[in-house]
Amino acid sequence: MNSKADNIVEILVTQEAVEKRVAELGEEITVAYRDRLPLLVGVLKGCTLFMSDLVKLIDTPLEMDFISLVSYGSMTRPSGAARITKDLDCVIEGRDVLLVEGIIDTGMTAGYLLRNLEARQPRSIRVCTLLDKPARRIVKIPIAYRGFEIPDRFVVGYGLDFRQIYRNLPYIGVLSDKITGLDRNAANRHSHRDSALTRRG
């Protein structure tokens, strides 16, 4: 099997830049929640590396929980329909919730998740995302803590995947269009590659 980095055409955010920014976010969140007991809710699976590093850099007591969902549609035509596959283990009513995402692009699935959690009556709910891709935004998402704003490229690494591969890259890299099937010349020939389940957004 080829190296996992062979199909990366550009390193968009280096490992060093990721580490520096995550530390800064940890400091910001520490200040904001100093007198509270925040519940960090990680959105699986894209948040895993980000959240793991982030919580170690938040210097105040906190709790953690995780939620997982699938969104329906293709990479190019998200439908906005979603379904929770792993719900929270704890009750969030009256809690200060910080939703931790690996990436927000269209905002459709993130919007669904926010509506679902807000209906459970937390005291507050904020969003923290490592990556923000505003060029694809359809639903406006109030992002309180943002790692990096990125262009409309298909990225992997640091928890983000393509068909479950590349999550363990220590940086954020742009995946070759020949792999994703998003290149213009191959779009029609390889349209069947678009899965019925698309990445969380």
Q: Please, which pLDDT band fits residue 181 given cuts at 50, 70 and 90?
A: confident
pLDDT at residue number 5: 77
Catalytic option among 53, 96, 105, 132:
105
**Does the pLDDT at position 93 exceed 80?**
yes
The band of 186, judged by pLDDT with boundaries at 50, 70 and 90, is very low
**The two three-digit tokens of residue 116, written as one number:** 């679902």
Distance (Å) of CA 114 to CA 109, 111, 142, 149, 174: 9, 5, 10, 20, 28
The pLDDT value recorded for residue 119 is 98
**Amino acid making up residue 187:** A
Q: Write down the pLDDT at residue 3.
A: 67
Q: What is the pLDDT of residue 165?
A: 94
Buried b (16+ CB within 10 A) or exposed e, 152-162: ebbbbbbbbbb
Asked whether the predicted pLDDT for residue 105 surpasses 80, the reply is yes
Contacts of 28-32 with CB under 8 Å at 24 or more apart are 28/145, 29/54, 29/58, 29/98, 29/128, 29/145, 30/58, 30/59, 30/60
Range from 2-11, 25-34, 106-115, 145-154 carrying the lowest mean pLDDT:
2-11
Q: Please tell me the pTM assigned to this model.
A: 0.86
Q: In terms of DSSP H, where are the helices of the chain?
A: 15-32, 48-56, 108-118, 177-180
Q: Which sequence spans correspond to the domains of the chain? A: 15-150
Contact by Cβ (8 Å): 131, 150: yes
Query: Catalytic residue at 105?
Result: yes
Q: What SS3 state is found at 63?
A: strand
**Looking at per-residue confidence, does 120 or 198 come out higher?**
120
- Give the chain's largest Cα–Cα span: 56
What is residue 135's DSSP assignment? G
Question: Which residue, 99, 101, 102, is CA-closest to 160?
Answer: 102
pLDDT in tens, 121-145: 999 999 999 999 999 999 999 999 9
The stretch 83-106 carries a mean pLDDT of: 97
Report which of 23, 29, 39, 108 is spatially closest to residue 70, judged by C-alpha positions: 108
3.40.50.720, 1.10.645.10, 3.40.50.2020, 3.40.50.300: which CATH number matches 15-150?
A: 3.40.50.2020
First-to-last alpha carbon distance for the chain, in angstroms, is: 29
Question: Which residue in the block uniquely carries the two structure tokens 């957004």?
Answer: 201
Dihedrals phi, psi of 164, to nearest 5 degrees? 75, 5
Binned at pLDDT 50, 70 and 90, residue 75 comes out as low
